[in-house]
Amino acid sequence: MVWYISSSSDNLRIYLLENMVGMLVSRLEYAKYPFIKAASEYVKALDLQLEELDNPEYVEVMNRAEQRIEETLITGTVTWKGDQVGEAEILSFPIAVAIVASIDDDFLRRRFALAEAKRAYALLREENDAKVAEIAASCLKWRAKIIPFGLGRPSGIALNFVDYLRNAVRFHDDRWKLVNRTLSGGEVLLRKEELARLIAEEVRVRFETMLQQSPRAQLPPLLAKRVERIRQVLIQRKEKLKTEELPKTIIAAAFPPCVMKLNDALLAGQHIPHMGRFTLTSFFLRIGRSPDELVKLYTSVSDFSESLTRYQIEHIAGRKGSGTQYTPPNCRSIQTHNLCPGPDDLCKMIRHPLSYYRRKANMFQSGGNQESG
């Protein structure tokens, strides 16, 4: 599925290329689920040209498209009020895609795809089992079906294990592992909410791929002005994420699970791989621990060498070598190196251990519950 801007004889148009099987739905579904074929065909039939968007009659569409992206940046999800079934809501999605593609920023692409996936998940959870199964089967071509009572299995939704694994492997919670699921006849039994979560993950990946493949295009003047406004919001958001202060006092209870595990292993004198030591050291330096404190922390390690340990810590701190103060690896890298003991609920909303610590520490501080370490 690819949204992109194409020009032919200087005539810019919006198209949707996709390979999904369609389903008969209403305008309500077009507005709720822009990834279904019927929604794309509806938009395509309008033959909307980008130049037309400078016309005042499209102000509502443009406002909603801009709002979708601003919500993506500010709150991390796109709203649905239940009464957004008009053409403005339907058309705002491809316009938002065109705007995001024109800005050409990886952070924005990832955040937009995730925000739209969260929106889809919230809406799917409100549907009945049959509707969610139908969307999985008809729109994504997954082998999904309702399991009624009386067939020797609990009622629910059965999904072919290959289709299940395609997205479940991206989840690190043990409950998504195939060995922990009910598997019968090559099918995994799911609750509606679980299938909705898998669909949302598929939507996120498809939207992110779609945005990466969408080329930039020349935009009409009024749309270009909106793009510039969104670009400024994006810059401000990125700066805010960079400059948000960490707590002045170290709050051990706010450490992310990966740091907790590494710290406990270190205190117990257990062996920690190189990437684990780098993760722990760079994290502690960033939250305010001094190199001297960390040298003392590593004395329990069996191969401890004070001179070598001090050099490595000061190198990570930017006091040696290039002078660069290193940042801990992100969550994906930590998972790749098998340093993640399994995410908690907060982990699922962030991508970096420092972001986890900052948010968790703020929770403790706002609630007046702190534990220093």
pLDDT tens per residue across span 221-237:
888 899 999 999 998 88
Contact of 125 with 197, CB cutoff 8 Å: no
pLDDT at residue 13 is higher than 70: no
Token code pair at residue 198: 């898998």
Amino acid 120: pLDDT:
95
Give the mean pLDDT of the chain.
83
pLDDT at residue 368 is higher than 80: no
Closest CA to 316 of 327, 306, 326: 326
The answer for residues whose C-beta is within 8 angstroms of residue 43's C-beta and 6 or more apart is 14, 16, 90, 91, 94
Lowest mean pLDDT among 2-16, 17-31, 93-107, 146-160: 2-16
Amino acid 172: pLDDT:
62
Q: Which residues is 184 bridged to in the sheet?
A: 187
Amino acid 256: pLDDT:
94
Cβ count near 16 (within 10 Å): 21
pLDDT at residue 367 is higher than 70: no
What's the mean pLDDT in 333-341?
92
Amino acid 190: pLDDT:
94
Q: Counting every residue, how long is the chain?
A: 373
- Taking the CA atoms of residue 357, residue 358, residue 362 and residue 365 in that order, the dihedral angle to the nearest 10 degrees is 70
Token code pair at residue 292: 């001297």
What percent of the chain stands above pLDDT 70?
85
| pTM of the shown model | 0.64
Token code pair at residue 95: 């316009």
What's the mean pLDDT in 56-76?
92
pLDDT at residue 170 is higher than 90: no
Give the three-state DSSP class for 33.
coil
pLDDT at residue 356 is higher than 60: yes
- Residue of higher predicted confidence among 363 and 255: 255
Q: At 372, is the pLDDT very low, low, confident or very high (cuts 50, 70, 90)?
A: very low
Token code pair at residue 96: 């938002």
- Taking the CA atoms of residue 305, residue 308, residue 309 and residue 314 in that order, the dihedral angle to the nearest 10 degrees is 160
What percent of the chain stands above pLDDT 90?
43
pLDDT at residue 62 is higher than 80: yes
Closest CA to 266 of 292, 251, 248, 284: 284
Contact of 43 with 49, CB cutoff 8 Å: no
Residue 94: phi and psi, rounded to 5, are -60, -30
Q: At 47, is the pLDDT very low, low, confident or very high (cuts 50, 70, 90)?
A: confident
Amino acid 244: pLDDT:
57
Amino acid 261: pLDDT:
93
CA-to-CA distance for 267 and 297, rounded, in angstroms?
8
Contact of 80 with 108, CB cutoff 8 Å: no
Contact of 202 with 167, CB cutoff 8 Å: yes
Q: At 55, is the pLDDT very low, low, confident or very high (cuts 50, 70, 90)?
A: confident
Closest CA to 307 of 324, 322, 320, 325: 320
Closest CA to 157 of 117, 197, 110: 197
CA-to-CA distance for 270 and 283, rounded, in angstroms?
19
CA-to-CA distance for 138 and 25, rounded, in angstroms?
11
pLDDT tens per residue across span 121-169:
999 999 999 999 999 998 899 999 998 755 555 568 999 999 999 888 8
CA-to-CA distance for 68 and 72, rounded, in angstroms?
6
pLDDT tens per residue across span 239-275:
776 555 667 788 899 999 999 999 988 887 788 899 9
Amino acid 149: pLDDT:
58
What's the mean pLDDT in 175-194?
90
CA-to-CA distance for 271 and 177, rounded, in angstroms?
27
Q: At 67, is the pLDDT very low, low, confident or very high (cuts 50, 70, 90)?
A: very high
Q: At 176, is the pLDDT very low, low, confident or very high (cuts 50, 70, 90)?
A: confident
Amino acid 115: pLDDT:
92
Amino acid 44: pLDDT:
87
Which secondary-structure segment (H or E) carries 115? helix 106-124
pLDDT tens per residue across span 70-110:
999 988 889 987 766 678 899 999 999 999 999 989 889 98
Q: State the helix-helix crossing angle for 106-124 and 221-243, rounded to 10 degrees.
A: 90
